[in-house]
Chains A and B, each alone.
Chain A
Amino acid sequence: MSALIQLKNVKKTYKRGKESITIFDGLNLTIEQGDFVAIMGPSGSGKTTLLNLLGGTDRSDSGEINFDGERIDGYNEGQLAGWRARSVGFIFQFYNLMPVLNAAQNVELPLMLTKLSAGKRRANVETALKIVGLWDRAKHRPKELSGGQQQRVAIARAIVSDPKFLLCDEPTGDLDRNTANDILGTLQQLNQEMGKTIVMVTHDPEAARFAKRTLHLDKGVFAEVTQ
């Protein structure tokens, strides 16, 4: 296995007024191609901060972040946005679908950043919605869908442009046990059958069992729990 993403000696501090809070001071992490990593840890331990660094939505103060051989820590805002659009699918706790768009239009959004023709975009949207089993709800608005269905649409949106890497922040935090297990099963399937590399933040030890390994984050330092 080769590394998909590698953090080397990453430092991250937040400034709050005159104070600065150090979240990571020399963090190292390697995630292999095809891995499914769950990240657990108490609230405030830096899980979301880590996802922001991995997903290129925030910058480290120093250190290296490599993705598939690219150094992304030196990218400017525009380059990062382009890289995110190409390489990362994001799945949020509260789905973050656009309320005025129907399921198909929501899924199509990332493709608006590509050069694909309208016909090709439609085909890709259909494929993605079929993978999550919601093609029959393509014309439904988010408020006409259950929480689990909305999260499936969000998963379809995350995979529609075929990124290698999926980042999930508490993807089942808002769902009941059975629905959560369905969603986690889908993620597991994406990992096993389509080779997606997944990093998932969760509070839920049962959710973590769907991952290949779990990292425990505490005060900015990792302890690996299961392999």
Chain B
Amino acid sequence: MSLLNQTGSVIAMNVRSIPQRLWMSLATVGSIALVVAVLLGFLALANGFNQTLKGSGAPDVAIALRDGSAAELNSVISREQIDLLGQGPGVRAGPDGRPLISAELVLIVDGIKKSTDTKANMPLRGIGSNGLLVRPQAKITQGRMFTPGSNEIVVGAGLLREFSGFELGKTLRFGAQTWKVVGVFEAPGTVFESELWADAPVIQSLFKRGSTFQTARVGLTSPAAMPAFVKYVKDEQRLQLKAQSEQTYFADQAERSGLLIKYFGWPLGIIMAIGALAGALNTMYASVSSRAAEIATLRVIGFSGFSAFVGTMVEALVLSALGALVGVAICSVGFNGLSASTLGAGFTQVAFRLQIGPDIISQAVTLALIIGLIGGIFPGLRASRQRPLLALAT
């Protein structure tokens, strides 16, 4: 009881004395806020990117690529292989009664990124009528779908946000041909929103692809049908393809690209944290020395060294918690939901939104509290070793 009382009194005195070191304390709060904001920014970037890639894949759609190709861009699939895929187990029938397979090809075209006014690569995907059926999230929200056989194009809403020149009604030039933008589609939270779509046969002929495709998306009756279908593709000697669930395909890509952002964010966050820690230690040592006479007086009166330690510790933690609060607030107001784009798989741009969630907030706050903890321990130990000498107390 008396230990609680005395520690409580010392904590209250420490915290109430913060305004006496206002500028130093504010600098500490500010530097910790900066660390939290930067780390949180990177984590939100990785988080949003991950969520977008993960959200792109359906569990009941198999994606087939040439065996050995990791991404759609360097895969080749023939008409015959596609027919063979349709004979696999668990393949759903489309509205026309035939197997629901979307044979697609992806090309890279140039666009101008709004934020930097620089050229960037973006995917132009050729799809058929099944393309929308294997992507139930995708909806035309402005204009209309392209007419099969024509040089018409629809543009993803995410791409429209980040790149200029693709607005509805615009005429574009890819290769030797001009194209007209006739519609905008949304596929919220997926990579497809960062794509341009056109009719697959038109692309095959204009870009001289003969009758080959690059990927096939196969609609299955249920996610449970996936393993049997994957095994069928693996065992069928005539195919030489590899199938996996679209969900797994994007999750793998998310992991690779997401880790990159994360592993850039953490080292930067930690380097900044070391800087903030130096500031916190400096502030707390200043606090202890400015209160040396007070601490000595309390020790003379009979207060324990432990209470001096805890008081200093709590002061440091209060400053770091304030810093964390400010950092999280800055990020929530400033970054959350902000749209961004970066290189995704196959060197094309993926547009996504920064996403702050409880898990990444707790990671950033933990880093802030670790700064406070270490920034409080050593000054706290110095405070606790303050001798209760009368001479020092005067």
Contacts and interface: CB of A to CB of B under 8 A. Distances in A.
Instruction: Report whether chain A binds chain B.
Output: yes
B366 interface: no
Interface stretch (A20-28, A32-40, A50-58): A50-58
Which secondary structure dominates where chain B touches chain A?
helix
Interface stretch (B110-118, B270-278, B291-299): B291-299
Which of A51, A96, A99 counts the most chain B CB atoms within 10 A?
A96
B17 to A, nearest CB: 5
A195 interface: no
Interface residues of A, number: 32
Closest 9 CB pairs of A and B: A85-B302, A96-B297, A100-B16, A112-B5, A84-B302, A57-B388, A81-B302, A112-B9, A112-B6
B391 interface: yes
Interface string A112-129: 111100000000000000
Interface of A: 48, 51-52, 55, 57-58, 77-78, 81-82, 84-86, 90, 92-94, 96, 98-101, 109-110, 112-115, 157, 167, 169-170
A96 B302 contact: no
B394 A81 contact: no
Contacts of B13: 98, 100-101
Nearest to B2: A113
A57 B303 contact: no
A28 B293 CA distance: 31
B301 A84 contact: yes
Contacts of A52: 389-391
B1 interface: yes
A77 B20 CA distance: 31
Contact of A58 (B8, B293, B389): B389
B389 A113 contact: no
Given A101-B13, A113-B5, A115-B2, A55 B304 contact: no
A110 to B, nearest CB: 5
Contact of A57 (B5, B16, B389): B389
B300 interface: yes
5 contacts: A92-B393, A96-B394, A112-B8, A113-B5, A170-B394
A110 B302 contact: yes
Interface residues of B, number: 28
Interface string B219-257: 000000000000000000000000000000000000000
A55 B390 CA distance: 9
A115 B389 contact: no
Contacts of A90: 300-301, 390
A110 B9 CA distance: 11
Contact of A112 (B2, B17, B294): B2
Contacts of A96: 293-294, 297, 393-394
Nearest to B5: A112
A94 B303 contact: no
Given A81-B302, A84-B300, A113-B5, A98 B294 contact: yes
A109 B393 contact: no
A77 B299 CA distance: 10
